[in-house]
Amino acid sequence: MTTAQGALAARHPLGPALAAAAILAVGMGFGRFAFTGLYPLMVQEQTLTVHSGTLAASMNYAGYLLGALLVARTGPSSARLLCLWATVFNIASMAVLAYADAAWAIIAVRGASGMASAAAMVGVSVWLMQAVGDAQRAPLMFAGVGAGIALSAELITLGHRGGMGSAGIWMLLALSSLAIAAVALPTMKRRAAESSPLPQRQAAGTGPQGTRADAVKLIALYGLAGFGYIVTATYLPLLMKEALPSADSTQVWAVFGLGAVPSCFLWHALHVRYGMRTSLVLNLVVQAAGVALPAVSHTATAYLISALVVGGTFMGSTTIALPAGQRLAHVVRFSMPAAMTAAFGVGQITGPLVANFMYARSGSFSGSLVTAAGALVLAAVLCLGVSVRKAPSA
């Protein structure tokens, strides 16, 4: 990107949201979820086992929780710098994995990268919604996660077909992330320098709504949502590879990411029209069905539908819940985005541990998928008791 193109991106109304989406593509789509696509290959190469891979996944989610807690007090003035360091650390973590061949080293690096992913999520959310004041384009920002998953999955496929091992693919992902960041970060800097925060639009309604109890319920159900989707997001390519060895599991993972991109806009539209409670309950119930499907049917079609349904709902949960949490910020004395991200992290830590425990005893992921689906249904029930003012229309 030339200087003139970068300046144009900074001035364009979508510039900040696109930059934020790129940061999430690197921090979440690549730094966090590329591991899922590479997991079967690393097991095949005997770099990891199912057990050590589970520990690496859980350590990543533990790092995510710790990262969320460490950046809980991030304000608009420091959000862009946090995004910068989180992005640099994510890219460095991927590069290190190209050289790490011991399970303990991979587990440690995945823990550190989890912290960086949480910092990216919190930092970029605060930057776009508070520093820039453009909460209405949050769906575009969150779509960056799905775009990053899909792009990283295709790069994994490309590398694998080109004869690369997991080490070479990790370096390919690191270099690709560096190219994305080189475009996004200067755009964020120009925007911060050239404009002041925009005033937030007032939500529809007569004024602030919701209570502290509503905030606590929202945090709790968001934690259950983290538990509910993570078994699919961690093991889908692996369990498909076990059930259907000839199938290309990485392409199913790409479908997961592609489903997430338009879903952010769909669920935001439903949120605006029907309110948080109705849209989030629907989201969680549909997601539960997608999570449970591979436990019912072990066909390629079932895995593909599961990837599309779960991919098409898990970021929808975030698109609905995080802005809703922002609208409940007045009833608590802590950062709702950070608290919700931390709860989500707890759910994500628990999910793989439960899945590994059940897999060790049954040799199957079916029980953990059903348990995860149950957690999503419980989250939907809890959501029925939450009252939040309606989201503002675009």
Q: What is the pLDDT of residues 104-114, one digit of tens each?
A: 999 999 999 99
Task: Quote the pLDDT of residue 389.
Answer: 64
**Helix or strand run (H / E) with residue 94:** helix 76-97
**Pairwise pLDDT comparison (31 vs 363), residue with the higher score:** 31
CA-wise closest residue to 221 among 384, 11, 64: 384
Task: Quote the pLDDT of residue 56.
Answer: 92
Confidence of residue 2 (pLDDT cuts 50, 70, 90): very low
Residue 36 has pLDDT above 70, yes or no: yes
CA-wise closest residue to 255 among 228, 271, 281, 233: 233
Domains, the chain:
7-195+208-383 (1.20.1250.20)
In angstroms, rounded to a whole number, what is the distance separating the alpha carbons of residues 287 and 306? 9
In angstroms, rounded to a whole number, what is the distance separating the alpha carbons of residues 329 and 337? 9
Confidence of residue 1 (pLDDT cuts 50, 70, 90): very low
* Cβ–Cβ < 8 Å for 48, 42: yes
Percent of the chain at pLDDT above 90?
Answer: 40
CB-count exposure of residue 286 (10 Å: 0-12, 13-18, 19+): middle
Task: Quote the pLDDT of residue 210.
Answer: 72
Task: Quote the pLDDT of residue 376.
Answer: 97
Instruction: Name the pTM for this structure.
Output: 0.81
Q: Where are the alpha helices (DSSP H) in 98-165?
A: 103-126, 138-161
* Cβ–Cβ < 8 Å for 255, 304: yes
Confidence of residue 34 (pLDDT cuts 50, 70, 90): very high
Query: To the nearest 10°, the Cα dihedral for 48, 52, 56, 62?
Result: 180
Task: Quote the pLDDT of residue 26.
Answer: 96
Residue 161 has pLDDT above 50, yes or no: yes
Residue 328 has pLDDT above 80, yes or no: no
Distance of CA 269 to the CA centre of its chain: 20
Residue 205 has pLDDT above 60, yes or no: no
User: What value does the mean pLDDT take over residues 249-276?
Assistant: 87
How crowded is residue 182: how many other Cβ atoms within 10 Å of its Cβ? 12
Confidence of residue 359 (pLDDT cuts 50, 70, 90): confident
CA-wise closest residue to 67 among 25, 112, 12: 112
Report CA torsion sign: 106, 156, 314, 191: positive
Tokens of 40: 């079967």
Tokens of 311: 């991919």
Confidence of residue 193 (pLDDT cuts 50, 70, 90): very low
* Cβ–Cβ < 8 Å for 309, 287: yes
In angstroms, rounded to a whole number, what is the distance separating the alpha carbons of residues 53 and 356? 10
Q: What is the pLDDT of residues 6-18, one digit of tens each?
A: 444 445 677 889 9
How crowded is residue 362: how many other Cβ atoms within 10 Å of its Cβ? 11
* Cβ–Cβ < 8 Å for 183, 360: no
Task: Quote the pLDDT of residue 20.
Answer: 94
For residue 352, what are the contacts with CB-CB under 8 A and spacing of at least 6?
54, 57, 58, 61, 230, 231, 234, 235
Confidence of residue 139 (pLDDT cuts 50, 70, 90): confident
**Pairwise pLDDT comparison (335 vs 89), residue with the higher score:** 89
**Pairwise pLDDT comparison (141 vs 327), residue with the higher score:** 141
Confidence of residue 191 (pLDDT cuts 50, 70, 90): low
Task: Quote the pLDDT of residue 201.
Answer: 45
Task: Quote the pLDDT of residue 197.
Answer: 47
Identify which of 113-117, 201-205, 257-261, 322-326 has the greatest average pLDDT.
113-117
Tokens of 148: 């990053």
Task: Quote the pLDDT of residue 196.
Answer: 46
In angstroms, rounded to a whole number, what is the distance separating the alpha carbons of residues 77 and 329? 18
Residue 367 has pLDDT above 50, yes or no: yes
Confidence of residue 393 (pLDDT cuts 50, 70, 90): low
User: What value does the mean pLDDT take over residues 182-187?
Assistant: 88
Identify which of 88-92, 140-144, 217-221, 259-263 has the greatest average pLDDT.
88-92
207: region left, alpha or beta (phi > 0 left; psi from -120 to 50 alpha): left
Q: Which residue has the tokens 């199938």?
A: 247
For the ranges 28-37, 186-195, 261-270, 300-309, the lowest mean pLDDT is seen at 186-195
